[in-house]
A = this chain, B = another copy of it.
Amino acid sequence: MYHHIKKLMYTVNVGEPDARFGKMLLEQFGGANGELAAAMQYSIQGLNCDDPGLKDLLMDIGTEELSHLEVIGTLARMHLKPTKTSRAAADADPLIAICGGGGVSLYNSAGNAWTADYLKITGELDVDLRSNIAAEARAKIVYERLIDFCDDTGSKDALQFLMTREITHMKAFMTALAAMEKPPLAVGLIKPSPKIVDQYFNTSTGTGDQGERDLLAPWNDESSVERIDAPAFQMFADPHLGTRKAEPIDGPDLTPPTEDAAQPVQTDHAAAAARKKSSARGKAS
């Protein structure tokens, strides 16, 4: 059972309404990674859940997301209100202006109606927790982008609050997954086929227009996997592939990537992103 208190979880103040920014905000109201999607995904997982501890967790966070829906909706409403009376504002979002009279509805930033196709609910608890961790990560980055495009202090405060809570939830779901003490690749009960599971299929080869190429990396080097280059052109060596009668044919140029090409430079990825971002901001302003 639900009860509603007429107080926002975070008070929303808006200086100058910005209808185009209001349209962007709808992404977190009625969009794919928005608050309704979060509220419904967790609450319905909770409704289906037989484990009392996880059910409690899912209902706690699912309910909090309903309160977030109210906050982001109120914020978007404030920015979109002028679409009722100003033609210029209405041009920023004709659907809200003409259909909603300046009021919000469950659309995303392109005016698409919210759909339950956004939800990921399987009823397998560890799987659902992984979907939730990913959902929170997506919601976090979307809020960050909204903050990046926002000039209004009050709006930024509310967005910062909502963004922060996604991290809180992400951590809670990660902790819950860890508490299940399942091996990370143990999904369900049926075991994967032993040899095939350790084969990495290198199905994309050659050199791209920007110099993209095969690289050796932890996920595809021979330390942990058997690398199968261009399987479309190879006979499968493994009899577990069974009834398959594939004949060997001459394949494409598959000279293995050299060792010195190895190790993509992901380690400084965050720093690189930061550099790119701040330089971009420089350019944008």
Could you tell me if B2 and A66 are in contact, using CB atoms closer than 8 angstroms?
Answer: yes
Could you tell me if B94 and A24 are in contact, using CB atoms closer than 8 angstroms?
Answer: yes
Interface size on A, residues (CB 8 A): 186
Residues of B within 8 Å of A145, CB to CB, are 84, 97-98, 101
Q: Kindly report how many copies of this chain are found in the complex they form together.
A: 6
Residues of B within 8 Å of A130, CB to CB, are 130, 133-134, 137
Could you tell me if A204 and B56 are in contact, using CB atoms closer than 8 angstroms?
Answer: yes
Q: How far is the CB of A267 from chain B (nearest CB, A)?
A: 5
How does the 8 Å CB contact mask read for A173-185 relative to B, with 1 for contact and 0 for none?
1111011111011
A38 at the interface (CB under 8 A from B): no
Nearest B residue to A102, CB-CB: B123
- Whole-angstrom distance between the alpha carbons of A263 and B181 in the complex? 13
Q: How far is the CB of A87 from chain B (nearest CB, A)?
A: 5
A237 at the interface (CB under 8 A from B): no
Residues of B within 8 Å of A124, CB to CB, are 101, 137, 141
Q: Which of A55, A190, A211 has the most CB of B within 10 A?
A: A190
Residues of B within 8 Å of A7, CB to CB, are 1, 206-209, 232, 246
Residues of B within 8 Å of A180, CB to CB, are 266-267, 269-270
Q: Which of B98, B214, B245, B267 contacts A142 (CB 8 A)?
A: B98
Q: Which of B99, B125, B192, B230 contacts A122 (CB 8 A)?
A: B99
Q: Which of A40, A103, A104, A197 has the most CB of B within 10 A?
A: A103
How does the 8 Å CB contact mask read for A157-182 relative to B, with 1 for contact and 0 for none?
10011011101101111111011111
Residues of B within 8 Å of A247, CB to CB, are 207
Q: Which of B111, B126, B218 contacts A176 (CB 8 A)?
A: B218
Could you tell me if B119 and A116 are in contact, using CB atoms closer than 8 angstroms?
Answer: no
Q: How far is the CB of A118 from chain B (nearest CB, A)?
A: 6
- Whole-angstrom distance between the alpha carbons of A245 and B13 in the complex? 12
A252 at the interface (CB under 8 A from B): yes
Residues of B within 8 Å of A134, CB to CB, are 120, 127, 130-131, 133-134
Q: Which of B8, B86, B110, B182 contacts A95 (CB 8 A)?
A: B110
Q: How far is the CB of A229 from chain B (nearest CB, A)?
A: 10
- Whole-angstrom distance between the alpha carbons of A58 and B8 in the complex? 16
Q: How far is the CB of A283 from chain B (nearest CB, A)?
A: 7
A9-48 at interface with B (beta carbon < 8 Å): 9-13, 20, 23-24, 27, 30-33, 36, 40, 44-45, 47-48
A-B contact pairs, 12 of them (CB 8 A): A1-B232, A44-B105, A56-B213, A60-B202, A62-B204, A99-B122, A110-B111, A115-B117, A131-B138, A133-B134, A144-B189, A189-B274
- Interchain residue pairs A-B with the least CB separation, the first 7: A53-B264, A110-B111, A101-B123, A48-B103, A85-B280, A106-B116, A59-B204
